[in-house]
Amino acid sequence: MLISMTGFGRATAKLDGLTATVEIRSVNNRFCEVAVRAPRELSRWETEMVNRVKKEFSRGRFAVQVQVDYPPSSGAEVTVNKDAAKRYVKALKELRKTTGTSRVQLEHLLTFPDVFNRADSSVDDESVWHVTQAALNAAIEGLSEMRTREGAALQRDLEKRVSQIEKQLAVVVERAPIRVAEARERLRDRLADVLADERVNADRLEFELVLVADKLEVTEEIVRLRSHIEQFRESLSAREPAGRKLNFIYQEMNREVNTIGSKANDAVLTRAVVTMKEELEKVREQVENVE
C-alpha cells in the first residue's frame, strides 16, 4: 500500500483549562525533514516533537505549528514585542521586493512566535507539554490518514499506467519478430542480383543478414521490461515505504523502453514506444509523491 508524502493534519487538545492546537503540513522531500514552530515554553521538547514525527514517517518535509491558549486565571499576560515585529516587517518587505510577491499582512507576522511576549503564569511548562503532546499525536494521526488516502489514489493511478505500458509491450511482442523477418526479406530482395553472382560469397552475405537481424532484435529488452513491470506491481503492494524502490524500477523500465525505441525502425513499434514513454513520464511524476 502506497503512502503519499503530501498531506495536512490538525488537532486540538484541552487539559486543565489549557488548549493546544497543532497543525502539520507535509510536502515531497527525498529525506525526512521536520521544522517546528512552538511557544518558547516548549523549546526543550522541540527535539522530542521532531523525533515523534520522524518515528511515524520516513520521507517528506514537515512543518509543525503549535499554538497554546491559556485560561484567563493563569496570569499569562500577552504583550507585543514591538522591536521583533518591526524587524520582521522590514525583512518581509525586502523579501517581497526581491520575489515580487503580495504585500505584507498581519497574518504573516502571526507565524513568528517571538512577536509576542507572555508573562510568567501559574501554569507550569510540564502541563503545557502534556496538552501539546496529546494534540501532536492526534494531528499526526490525521496527517497519516490523509497521506494514506492520497497514497491509495496514487496507487490506482500507477496501476493504470503500468497496465497501459503492458498493453503497448504486447504490441511490441507481437510485431517485433514479424518486423525482423520483413527486414531480412527486404534486404534479400535488394541483394538478389548480387547473390546471383557466383563470385559473391553467399555465406558472408548470410552472416551480414544475421547481423542486421541482431540489431533489430529486442527479445532481451522485452524480457527485462516484463520483469521490471512485475517488480513494480509487487512494490505497489508492499507494506514498507516503496517510493525509492519505485523510482529505481521506473528508471530501469525507461531504459529498456528507450533501447526498444532505438531499435524500432518500424512505425508500429515506434507508436507503441511513444505511448509507453508518455505513460512512464506520468509514472515518474507520481512516484515522486510516494513515501
pTM reported for the whole predicted model: 0.71
pLDDT score of 193: 60
> Does residue 143 lie within any of the structural domains?
no
Distance CA 278, CA 59 (A): 27
> What integer pLDDT is reported at residue 284 of this predicted model?
96
Section 53-78 average pLDDT = 84
Per residue in 151-190, pLDDT tens?
A: 999 999 999 999 999 999 999 999 888 877 776 676 666 6
Number of domains within the chain? 2
Q: Are residues 97 and 178 in the same domain?
A: no
CB of 217 within 8 A of CB of 262? no
User: What stretch of H or E contains 37?
Assistant: strand 32-37
| Residues 188 and 89 grouped into a single domain | no
The residues, any chain, with a CB within 8 Å of residue 195's CB and separated by 6 or more, are 188, 202, 205
Please list the residues that pair with 31 across neighbouring strands. Answer: none
280 in the same domain as 158:
yes
Which domain range does residue 199 map to? Answer: 152-287
Q: pLDDT by residue (tens digit) across 231-278?
A: 999 999 888 889 999 999 999 999 999 999 988 888 899 999 999 999
pLDDT-based confidence at residue 205 (cuts at 50, 70, 90)? low
Q: What gap in Å lies between CA 143 and CA 151, rounded to an integer? A: 12
Q: Indicate the residue among 100, 118, 136 that finishes a domain.
A: 118
Helix or strand run (H / E) with residue 61:
strand 60-69
Once rounded to an integer, what is the mean pLDDT over residues 61-90? 79
Residue 255, domain member (yes or no): yes
The amino acid at 219: T
pLDDT bin (cut points 50, 70, 90) of residue 132 is: very high
Residue 209: per-residue pLDDT: 56
**Order of all β-strands in the sheet with 32-37:** 7-15, 18-27, 60-69, 32-37
Residue 191 pLDDT class (50, 70, 90 cuts): low
- Predicted local confidence at residue 244, as pLDDT: 92
The mean pLDDT of the chain is 85
3-class secondary-structure state, position 68: strand
CA distances from residue 221 to 19, 173, 194, 251, 280 in whole angstroms, order as listed? 61, 10, 34, 14, 16
Torsion of CA 177, 180, 184, 190, to 10 degrees: 130
The answer to whether residue 86 is domain-embedded is yes
First-to-last C-alpha distance (Å) of the chain: 11
Provide the pairing of β-strand 60-69 with 18-27: antiparallel
